[in-house]
Amino acid sequence: MKDFAVFCPKALAGIGKVPDTVSDRCIPIHLVRKKKAERVQRFRKREVNVELLVANLRWHAQKGEVIETLRNGRAELNEISDRQNDIAEPLIVIADIAGGDWPAKARRSVIELCTAEEEENVNIRLLADIRIVFEERAADRISTDDLLHALVALDTDAPWPSWWGSDLQHDNLRGPAQKLRRRLKQFDLSSKTIRMPDEATARGYMRAEFEPVWERYLCG
């Protein structure tokens, strides 16, 4: 029997949710979908001096002191799991070698990337379910009260009923409304006083403000 060293770092890309068995062994980097009106600078490989980049990396990798530092380097962050620490440690050690503000940047970035994934997935799900509510009602506006009740009533496996159902049953709108507002704040969405079709006013949301956010974050 012979052991083979088969490890090498990999970059995986995909659309939608990555399987848990893969995602919890990765450092997740979520890309924001570009809107049609946005313009970004294109990356062209032919314009990059790949040979020089590879030569510089090879030169550093062959330096004895660098190899020794990488081999003996240690980094541990209390904010992330043991597995995430194992994955991120080589990158943090490389940042420590680079010096300057890279050590702090690397630690801050790893913590944000590793801890934000679950929360971000829930908030994206919230956006999708709010779109369902607007489409089912064919409405251009909705009060916060109606939106919360509609989310709780959706026949899905989303957490809204367990989060807000009890409060709404006891006519406690304030708590759920605040939590909804905090989750939508990351998308620069906020409730406001709106005039309803019956001419009454209420705190609520306009569909027009959601549409560019749906375009950016939701597929289809």
Q: What is the pLDDT of residue 176?
A: 94
Distances (CA, A) of 212 to 44, 57, 134, 140: 29, 41, 14, 14
Contacts of 113 (CB under 8 A, 6+ apart): 27, 28, 29
Q: What is the pLDDT of residue 116?
A: 64
Q: What is the pLDDT of residue 36?
A: 75
All structural domains of the chain with their residue ranges? 128-217
Q: What is the pLDDT of residue 2?
A: 86
Tokens in use for 137? Answer: 């009602």
Cross-sheet strand order for the sheet of 192-195: 141-143, 201-206, 192-195
CB 82 within 8 A of CB 25: no
Q: What is the pLDDT of residue 207?
A: 96
Tokens in use for 139? Answer: 């409405």
d(CA 103, CA 91): 10
Residues of the chain with pLDDT under 50: none
Give the residue ranges of DSSP H helices in the chain: 20-23, 50-61, 64-72, 82-98, 102-137, 144-153, 160-169, 174-185, 207-217
Distances (CA, A) of 129 to 71, 92, 132, 218: 48, 38, 5, 11
